[in-house]
A and B are shown apart, each in its own frame.
Chain A
């Protein structure tokens, strides 16, 4: 198990390097420089600017310093657009916000989705099961960018219970709508996967044996059925995490929560390449690490794949 963990973590390093390489190449080959304006700068000024940002060096040297700075100093360089602010400072400002509602959304999706799916499977073909299936099918076509306006109409405009945007230092009223909007469709997917895999497990031979032995239902479910039934759910957590990370862009845009997504879209619209790369790499590294954690959890649950 230990060697598996070590191997899995080391194998994600090349992935991270490739991610950095791709973003770097995209930035290099982008048409136009970040300093090109409509009137055009005098060549001396342009040369000075390029020297300041190290753009006059050969590309491999730029790549080397860029990677070196990220790895050793966790420094993504200066922002091209916001003068006097480094990408790091912008990330430090937005990241805690994203993390707060991101973690809550993840917790809500898992903590609601899994029990919903499991209970629906145990009470197969009951009214409860049909209700759960109905909810999950409905929530599937309600991605975050659809949920957000609907929630605002209902809870902010009609009922006037919750604010329709802002962050206010993470007060609970401001967190609820973003979390619901972000987690709904993933909650639905988790519930659907948990239900179908639980149904499959409940129909398998070892559960029948357990029933034949006369074990109480509660024991059968918690001791025998739950663990194998949760395996497919664990594999889905990786994609769900990626989805929530990307979804955070919508949340930041729509609720003006001031997370990283907002900076990402601003940077995309104003061609601030270094900020774009910084956000992409940070999100990418988080994704890769999370996938490694999911794989390790999976190997822990299912010794068969620990090769």
Chain B
């Protein structure tokens, strides 16, 4: 036989090295679409740098967020303006504390409250919604009725009462915000679960004798993640807004810690003395951060749900 051994070898080689066409998952598709969305991508970069600045910034400032600069105390309007020389890059607040460090700490805390509160809401909401949708029937009815009732209560007031009663602590802020914002998530997740639970792979799991709990955690929840991610990205700015609202009223975060809302409140109280830097710096951070979150959320929604465009 005149077989060109070399040729055969190279052919076999090329065949074995030829990998099968790789399937693209929903996630890869979505990430690809997200990366093409300029507004969302820029927002993501800005947001990451905002977070980085808020953690690196304090090391660059000679002042920390709670030390009062006695040289400027009571004279914030004339001497507290932003300046490089005395190290108060954003000026000082009314008590002579360094505004730059306070804005950095406020940014950290606002973002942390938004993210941790959202995490609480997501865990509760996803489990509640998945359980309700999966079991269906009377249980579903009762559980959703309960959500309806909770949703029609103006929770902000209950939350404020909670703060008054149990004292203001940042942990209560996390838990309280989370526990009052999972209802939308639960509804969305329930709707999706209802759609998923009659799919073949769930039937297969049921037929194979997998326990209900495991089906929910292993098969239903992972398939909900797309919509959960989208909704989560919209929930974070919502919670930051809520936290800022409560802190603006002076009922949220406890001094000397601070947050965007508390800083805006402090700045807004003193605008008639012309100390605009006390308002404008936290306001700029607040608006930038929220803008980024909203654009990222919109980008994710377009990425996971392209038919909506």
The digit string for B141-169, where 1 denotes a CB below 8 A from any CB of A, is 00000001100111011101111111000
Interface residues of B (CB under 8 A from A): 148-149, 152-154, 156-158, 160-166, 241, 244-245, 248-251, 261, 264-265, 267-268, 271-272, 276, 279, 283, 286-287, 290-291, 294
Q: Is the CB of A287 within 8 A of B153?
A: yes
Q: Is A18 in contact with B149, judged by CB distance below 8 angstroms?
A: yes
B residues within 8 A CB of A246?
154, 156-157, 245
Instruction: Give the residue of B148, B160, B291 whose beta carbon is less than 8 angstroms from that of A268.
Output: B160
CB-CB contacts below 8 Å: A152-183 with B: 152-153, 157, 164
Of A22-30, A218-226, A296-304, the one with at least 4 CB within 8 A of chain B:
A22-30
Chain A residues closer than 8 Å to B248, beta-carbon distance: 145, 250, 253
Residues 1-22 (chain A) with a chain B CB within 8 angstroms: 12, 14-15, 18-19, 22
Cβ-defined partner of A153 (8 Å) among B158, B250, B271: B271
Asked whether, in the complex, the Cβ of B271 is within 8 Å of the Cβ of A141, the reply is: no
Whether A280 is near chain B, meaning CB under 8 Å from some CB there, is yes
Q: Which residue of A lies closest to B249 (CB)?
A: A265
Q: For A15, list chain B residues within 8 Å (CB).
A: 148-149, 152-153
> Which of chain A's residues 244-287 have a Cβ closer than 8 Å to chain B?
245-246, 249-250, 253-254, 264-265, 268-269, 271, 276-277, 279-280, 283-284, 287
User: Could you list some 9 contacts between A and B, CB below 8 A?
Assistant: A22-B158, A27-B161, A31-B165, A141-B286, A146-B264, A149-B271, A152-B271, A269-B250, A287-B152
Task: Tell me which residues across on chain A come within 8 A of B148, comparing CB atoms.
Answer: 15
Known: A146-B283, A157-B272. A264 touches B164 (CB 8 A): no
- Interface residue SS majority, chain A: helix
What's the Cα separation between A200 and B33 when bound, in Å?
Answer: 22
In angstroms, Cα B193 to Cα A5, docked, is 30
Number of A residues near B (Cβ < 8 Å) is 48
Interface residues of A in 40-91 (CB under 8 A from B): none
**What A residues does B267 contact at CB under 8 A?**
149
Chain A residues with CB under 8 Å of B276's CB are 153
By beta carbon, the residue of chain B nearest A239 is B151
Hey, which chain A residues are within 8 Å of B279, CB to CB?
149, 153
Contacts of A12 in B (CB 8 A): 152
B162 touches A26 (CB 8 A): yes
- Across the interface, do B154 and A249 meet the contact criterion of CB distance under 8 Å? no
Query: Which chain A residue shows the least CB distance to B287?
Result: A141
Looking at the assembled complex, report how far the CB atom of A236 sits from the nearest CB atom of chain B, in whole angstroms: 13
Q: Which residue of B lies closest to A164 (CB)?
A: B272
Interface residues of A (CB under 8 A from B): 12, 14-15, 18-19, 22-23, 26-27, 29-31, 137, 140-143, 145-146, 148-150, 152-153, 157, 164, 238, 242, 245-246, 249-250, 253-254, 264-265, 268-269, 271, 276-277, 279-280, 283-284, 287-288, 291
B interface: dominant SS: helix
B24 to chain A, nearest CB (A): 28
A141 to B152, CA, bound (A): 24
- The number of inter-chain residue pairs (CB within 8 angstroms) is 112
CA distance A280 to B166 in the complex (A): 17
Q: Which residues of B contact A254 (CB under 8 A)?
A: 268
B217 to chain A, nearest CB (A): 31
Complex Cα distance A238/B184, Å? Answer: 14
Report Cα–Cα, A14/B272, bound state, in Å.
48
Q: A140-B294, A143-B241, A277-B161 are in contact. List 12 more A-B contacts (CB 8 A).
A: A12-B152, A14-B149, A26-B158, A26-B161, A26-B162, A30-B164, A30-B165, A146-B286, A149-B268, A276-B160, A284-B153, A291-B152
B264 touches A141 (CB 8 A): no
Q: Is the CB of A145 within 8 A of B245?
A: yes
Complex Cα distance, B162 from A29, in Å, reads 11
A242 contacts B271, CB within 8 Å?
A: no
Closest 4 CB pairs of A and B: A149-B268, A141-B290, A30-B165, A280-B157
Query: For residue A265, which residues in chain B have a CB less than 8 angstroms away from its CB?
Result: 249-251
| CB pair B291 A279 closer than 8 Å | no
Chain B: which residue is nearest A247 at the CB level?
B245
Give min CB distance, A68 to chain B, whole Å. 22
Using known A-B contacts A14-B149, A143-B241, A276-B164, determine if residue A149 contacts B264 with beta carbons closer than 8 Å: yes
Among A141, A142, A245, the most chain B Cβ lie within 10 Å of the Cβ of: A141
Q: Which residues from chain B contact A153 at a C-beta distance below 8 Å?
A: 271, 276, 279
What's the minimum C-beta distance from B268 to chain A, rounded to whole angstroms?
4
**How far does the Cβ of B113 sit from chain A's closest Cβ, in whole Å?**
16
- Contact A268 B164, beta carbon cutoff 8 Å: yes
A149 and chain B: residue at smallest CB distance: B268
Cβ contact within 8 Å between A157 and B271:
yes
In the bound complex, CA of A269 to CA of B161 (Å): 10
Inter-chain contacts of B287 with A (CB < 8 A): 141-142, 146
B245 touches A141 (CB 8 A): no
Q: How many Å from the CB of B146 to the closest CB on chain A?
A: 9
Contacts of A291 in B (CB 8 A): 152
Tell me whether B153 and A249 are in contact (CB under 8 A). Answer: no
Contacts of A250 in B (CB 8 A): 245, 248-249
In the complex, chain A residues whose CB is within 8 Å of the CB of B265: 145
Shortest CB-to-CB span from B262 to chain A, Å, is 11
Cα separation A39 to B241 with both chains bound (whole Å): 40
Which residues of A lie under 8 Å from residue B156 when comparing CB positions?
246, 249
Which of A14, A18, A148, A280 contacts B154, CB < 8 Å?
A: A280
Q: Which residues of B contact A142 (CB under 8 A)?
A: 287
Q: Cα distance A23–B142 when bound, in Å?
A: 22
- With the chains together, A142 CA to B286 CA distance in Å? 10
Give the chain B neighbours of A19 by CB distance below 8 A.
153
Contact between chains at B245 and A143 (CB < 8 Å): yes
Q: Which residues of B contact A149 (CB under 8 A)?
A: 264, 267-268, 271, 279
